[in-house]
């Protein structure tokens, strides 16, 4: 059985392996021993903290095969971004150049550097090993977070975002960044992405163009990838769109990948989730649900068969053991698809 639980120090080697295999452009998992260990320590503190309002907490989870003990992937939640370090985006807008005398009216697309998402909750750091990309594991590893958000509302903002990885090739070359590099940075995309991942963002404020960029002045290759996602990110974007996420005109400052957002109350899995006590019983042939316990530091999630009966959720003994619950304990759940 696959179980999602909070990360701990014993998971360092597995997290490092995820960082290596995730590749260039996966900013939240840089291949850096010290930073990854600090991520784990911060997550442990966050899960144990008594939180009344969202702050500088980062929750990192792992998907574990309970039979083999293998870590199959990871995903995370940032409670409120931009409180400690500036959180940058480009916002896509327009300016109009108009002259009545010359009968000229021209609308021009622009990109403006901003910090508009400061304080919102971010779902992030989703990586699943290729051999585990089956049996809806990827959907589970992404969507269970919406149940966690719904169950622990005071820990998170009402607005939730996800940054989608933009277009780059296998060597890490980003058409959008190549234009910025040529005119402003003299630093390749993998280096800029790595520095951001380890928290060294001062160079952005120092070197990023301060004024809006006219999109028409960018190279054709850079223009073509604005708001587009990496080929491997398309399934993740499609899943989030099915949950109610949409792009409101914000893109990444390095690869121009889109950022999507939704209000927590409008996210499908959170909105249709229910909270019921459990009973142990026979669930053969029943539908599958994502099920989480209602705890934080001892959080557990599974995707298993269950049935609603007499205003209770009937689950198997194996599911109860995995969730660390007994008959009468409460869980939150939603359909698995």
Looking up residue 26, the CATH number of its domain turns out to be 3.40.630.30
Total domains, the chain = 2
My answer on whether 161 and 284 are in the same domain is no
In this prediction, residue 100 carries a pLDDT of 80
Position 202 pLDDT exceeds 70: no
With respect to residue 178, please indicate whether it lies within any of the assigned structural domains. Answer: yes
pLDDT band per the 50, 70, 90 thresholds, residue 215: very high
Q: Indicate which residues carry an active-site annotation.
A: 230
* Least confident residue range of 25-34, 147-156, 326-335: 25-34
Beta-carbon neighbour count of residue 202 at 10 Å?
Answer: 11
Residues 203 and 232: their CA atoms lie apart, in Å, by 28
My answer on whether 263 and 309 are in the same domain is no
Residues in the chain: 337
pLDDT band per the 50, 70, 90 thresholds, residue 101: confident
In this prediction, residue 64 carries a pLDDT of 98
My answer on whether 214 and 233 are in the same domain is yes
Phi/psi at 12 (5° precision): -55, -50
Q: What is the signed CA dihedral for 272, 277, 278, 279, rounded to 10 degrees? A: -130
In this prediction, residue 22 carries a pLDDT of 84
With respect to residue 99, please indicate whether it lies within any of the assigned structural domains. Answer: no
My answer on whether 287 and 257 are in the same domain is no
Which CATH number is 311's domain given? 2.40.40.20
My answer on whether 188 and 309 are in the same domain is no
Q: What is the DSSP letter of 130?
A: G
* Least confident residue range of 17-21, 147-151, 274-278, 324-328: 17-21
**What's the burial of 271, exposed, middle or buried (CB within 10 Å: 0-12/13-18/19+)?**
middle
What is the mean predicted confidence (pLDDT) over 313-319?
97
Last residue of a domain, one of 269, 301, 318: 269
Last residue of a domain, one of 213, 248, 269: 269
With respect to residue 219, please indicate whether it lies within any of the assigned structural domains. Answer: yes
In this prediction, residue 323 carries a pLDDT of 98
Cα–Cα nearest to 218, from 110, 112, 91: 110
CB 92 within 8 Å of CB 250: yes
Coil, helix or strand at residue 111: strand
My answer on whether 213 and 324 are in the same domain is no
| Both structure tokens of 270 | 């959170």
In this prediction, residue 1 carries a pLDDT of 94
With respect to residue 107, please indicate whether it lies within any of the assigned structural domains. Answer: no
Position 200 pLDDT exceeds 70: no
CA-to-CA separations, 335 to 23, 214, 306, in angstroms, rounded: 32, 45, 10
Domain span holding position 280:
274-335
My answer on whether 330 and 221 are in the same domain is no
Give the pairing type, strands 312-315 and 274-280. Answer: parallel
My answer on whether 252 and 284 are in the same domain is no
Position 325 pLDDT exceeds 70: yes
Residues 118 and 114: their CA atoms lie apart, in Å, by 10
* Least confident residue range of 114-118, 136-140, 181-185, 323-327: 181-185
In this prediction, residue 199 carries a pLDDT of 63
Position 335 pLDDT exceeds 70: yes
pLDDT band per the 50, 70, 90 thresholds, residue 312: very high
- Find tokens 């993998």 and name the residue: 190
Of the chain, the percentage scoring pLDDT greater than 90 comes to 74
Position 24 pLDDT exceeds 70: no
Higher pLDDT, 35 or 146: 146
With respect to residue 325, please indicate whether it lies within any of the assigned structural domains. Answer: yes
Last residue of a domain, one of 215, 250, 269: 269
pLDDT band per the 50, 70, 90 thresholds, residue 241: very high
My answer on whether 32 and 168 are in the same domain is yes
My answer on whether 240 and 280 are in the same domain is no
Cα–Cα nearest to 190, from 321, 22, 335: 22
My answer on whether 181 and 303 are in the same domain is no
pLDDT band per the 50, 70, 90 thresholds, residue 181: confident
**What's the burial of 326, exposed, middle or buried (CB within 10 Å: 0-12/13-18/19+)?**
exposed
My answer on whether 84 and 158 are in the same domain is yes
Residues 5 and 14: their CA atoms lie apart, in Å, by 14
As beta bridge partners, residue 262 has: 160
Position 104 pLDDT exceeds 90: no
With respect to residue 308, please indicate whether it lies within any of the assigned structural domains. Answer: yes
With respect to residue 106, please indicate whether it lies within any of the assigned structural domains. Answer: no
């Amino acid at each position: 059985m696959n179980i999602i639980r909070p990360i701990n120090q014993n998971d360092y080697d597995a997290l490092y392996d995820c960082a290596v295999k995730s590749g260039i452009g996966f900013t939240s998992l840089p291949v850096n021993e010290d930073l990854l260990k600090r991520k784990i320590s911060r997550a442990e503190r966050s899960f144990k903290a008594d939180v009344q309002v969202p702050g500088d907490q980062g929750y990192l989870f792992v998907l574990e095969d309970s039979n083999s003990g293998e870590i199959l992937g990871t995903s995370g939640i940032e409670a409120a971004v931009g409180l400690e370090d500036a959180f940058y985006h480009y916002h896509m807008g327009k300016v109009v150049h108009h002259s009545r005398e010359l009968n000229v009216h021209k609308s021009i697309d622009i990109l403006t550097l901003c910090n508009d998402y400061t304080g919102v909750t971010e779902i992030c750091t989703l990586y699943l090993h290729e051999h585990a990309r089956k049996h809806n594991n990827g959907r589970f590893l992404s969507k269970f977070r919406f149940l966690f958000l719904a169950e622990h509302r005071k820990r998170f903002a009402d607005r939730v975002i996800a940054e989608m990885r933009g277009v780059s090739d296998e060597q890490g070359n980003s058409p959008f960044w190549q234009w910025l590099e040529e005119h402003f940075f003299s630093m390749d995309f993998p280096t800029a992405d790595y520095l951001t991942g380890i928290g060294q963002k001062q160079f952005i404020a120092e070197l990023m163009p301060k004024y809006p960029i006219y999109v028409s002045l960018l190279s054709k290759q850079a223009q073509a990838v604005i708001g587009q996602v990496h080929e491997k990110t398309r399934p993740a974007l499609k899943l989030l769109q099915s949950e109610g996420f949409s792009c409101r005109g914000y893109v990444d400052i390095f690869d121009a990948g889109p950022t999507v957002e939704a209000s927590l109350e409008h996210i499908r899995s959170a909105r249709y989730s229910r909270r019921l006590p459990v009973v142990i019983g026979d669930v053969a042939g029943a539908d599958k649900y994502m099920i989480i316990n209602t705890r934080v530091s001892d959080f557990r999630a599974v995707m298993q068969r269950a049935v609603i009966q007499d205003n209770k959720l009937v689950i198997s003994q194996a599911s109860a053991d995995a969730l660390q619950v007994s008959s009468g304990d409460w869980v939150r759940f939603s359909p698995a698809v």
